[in-house]
Chains A and B, each alone.
Chain A
Amino acid sequence: MAVKSNSRNKPGTATGMTRRTVLKGVGLAAVAAPPLLSRVARAADAPGATSVDQPISGSITITLNINDKDHQVAVEPRTTLLSALRDRLDPPITGPKLVCNANTCGACTVIANGRNIYGCSVLAVDMIGKKITTVEGIGTPENLSPVQAAFVEKDAMMCGFCTDGFVTSTTAFLKKNPNPTLDELKQGLKGNFCRCGTYPRIFEAALAAAKVLKASGK
């Protein structure tokens, strides 16, 4: 959650706060607040959410923005975003899958602020304030996105357990690279793995979807 510094900052400090003010802890809110503090203070409005410099622990309720909707969810600091989605939310969001839990396979891929990331390798508390998209937010069976429709048409799946991650990565990739070569596409998808062997048809689907997206001007 990078925050821009304001013009009043002293050189060498990020926010113009001195060590002395830091030691005051929560009392910072009473001091004239540079943008950093007020940004975090919004998150602090939700019960139990994190505030600047104040260590938090134990069970906390945070707000996560997922698929354009704010969700309140109880987590611990050590709860990953993936676990928050799958184990803590009710009803759970289960599109992103738990496969390796070690940022090595891509089945847990979600999009955060437009970039695809491994949901298992970020903490839920670190995702406050981000716009998170899971595969469920990309399309539904009744309303498939062009990427999803292309996956269906080209048979870009078998058991399907890697598929949500690939759909998500492909969606994020094509937004940034609307006209990829096959090699560029492979580079873009090399963080997602499949055991059944669906890669060649995923490539076909992605390239077909790129054409559809281009034609529709998206």
Chain B
Amino acid sequence: MNNFEWANASSIESAVKLLQPVDPQGDPDEMARPIGGGQDLLTSMKEYLVRPPRVVNLKTIAGLDQIKPDGKGGLRIGATVTITDLYENADVQAKFPGLAEAATSIASPQIRNVGTVGGNLCQRPRCWYFRLESVQCIKKGGPVCYAAGGQNKYNAIFNTGPSKIVHPSDLAPMLIALGATVTIFGTEGARTIPMDTFFTTPNQDVRKENILKDGEIVTEVQVPATTARSTYLKFKERESYDFALSAVAAVVEFALDKTVRNARLVLGGVASIPWHVPAAEKSLIGKTITEDNAAAAATLALANAKPLEFNAYKVPLTETLIRRALLKLNA
């Protein structure tokens, strides 16, 4: 890692101040960075993918690590809540079992004990071209996406621009499916936006994966109350510890007659952002979930997939996960 200044932030405001870039036009990979658990940040720094002159510790900000009721049946989850604390929380387990499942599916116990909600959402992609310092890929300011014509079995099957990364977060698809919002703090104070507008595609900005400006931080995620059932199915190439080859966050609200009143399906591991599939959702409204309906929804969800040379397998794989998630919620 490069030499850097370490600062324990006492408050959100001081954190934002400490994170303001000295040269806003400079290389975004050489600006101050916030640290939660550091499970992605430190690994990235060890590979010199990011070379912050200053690292600002958010864990010293009081109250940022709390899960609180929102007073309306939902939850407010602080950005420095660890993944372990998230899934061990009784309210999370009771109200949003799919979120607990998503959290449990992350990495390994050691990572989950330290990694934070904010860090999980803001983590950078795993594409091996991106992670190798010697490769100047388009996401790092270089000329081309090497995955597009290269070894792309782990890359995206939906086309969202010149970079073919997939977003690696497990919490993100689930939070989006649950209709979560996220609070961002910057120099102009706080703003709260729907989680599904937080993530950005390469078409929007190839150098980033979310809308955070330099010096901004996520401080809280809000998950509204729901009576829907939720589940997160993650398929890993290696069950012990791996990112998703494909994942499905499914949130379905059933009417008393067991027909679907509302459905949210968000896919992970298949696109540069958590991939919402509204056409598939619509196909289920008013129907009971059967093998046929689930299969049809799955087909619809993947209808405009554009696989690369080595990742067509993600289509049948994701269809399976969608079917299984729906049938599981139907039980």
Contact = CB atoms under 8 A, between A and B. Distances in A.
B240 A50 contact: no
B148 interface: no
Nearest to B14: A22
B320 interface: no
A190 B108 CA distance: 6
B13 A123 contact: no
A53 B7 contact: yes
A2 interface: yes
B188 interface: no
Contacts, number: 160
Interface stretch (A63-71, A102-110, A136-144, A204-212): A102-110
B93 to A, nearest CB: 16
A213 interface: no
A14 B10 contact: yes
A94 interface: no
B3 interface: yes
B61 interface: yes
Contact of B109 (A28, A53, A55, A188): A188
B63 A121 contact: no
B6 A55 contact: yes
Interface residues of B, number: 46
A106 B111 CA distance: 10
Contacts of B80: 2
Interface string B42-73: 11011000000011010111111100000000
B5 A77 contact: yes
Given A116-B113, A117-B114, A13 B59 contact: no
Given A36-B62, A109-B110, A17 B39 contact: no
Contacts of B9: 52-53
Contacts of B57: 1, 126
Contacts of B239: 190
Nearest to B11: A14
B43 A121 contact: yes
A118 B18 CA distance: 27
Contacts of A52: 8-10, 14, 60
B13 A191 contact: no
A67 B30 CA distance: 37
Interface string A1-33: 111111001001111011100110000100000
Contacts of A188: 109
B113 A78 contact: no
A102 B46 contact: yes
Contacts of B43: 102-103, 121
Contact of A1 (B7, B14, B59, B84): B59
A137 to B, nearest CB: 17
Interface string B207-230: 000000000000000000000000
Nearest to A125: B6
Contacts of A190: 108-109, 239-241
A89 interface: no
Contacts of B113: 112, 115-117
B49 to A, nearest CB: 12
Contacts of B35: 126
Contacts of A55: 5-7, 18, 54
Contact of B6 (A28, A77, A102, A118): A77
A191 B109 CA distance: 6
B62 A5 contact: yes
B107 interface: yes
B110 A126 contact: no
A173 B38 contact: no
A208 B329 CA distance: 37
Interface in B185-238: 190
A163 interface: no
A51 interface: yes
Given A2-B80, A52-B14, 4 more contacts: A4-B63, A57-B4, A57-B5, A173-B109
Minimum-distance CB pairs A-B, first 7: A191-B108, A55-B5, A77-B6, A5-B62, A115-B113, A14-B62, A190-B240
22 contacts: A4-B62, A9-B62, A15-B11, A22-B11, A28-B10, A50-B7, A52-B60, A53-B7, A76-B3, A77-B55, A78-B1, A78-B45, A80-B42, A121-B38, A121-B114, A126-B59, A187-B109, A190-B241, A191-B107, A191-B108, A191-B109, A191-B241
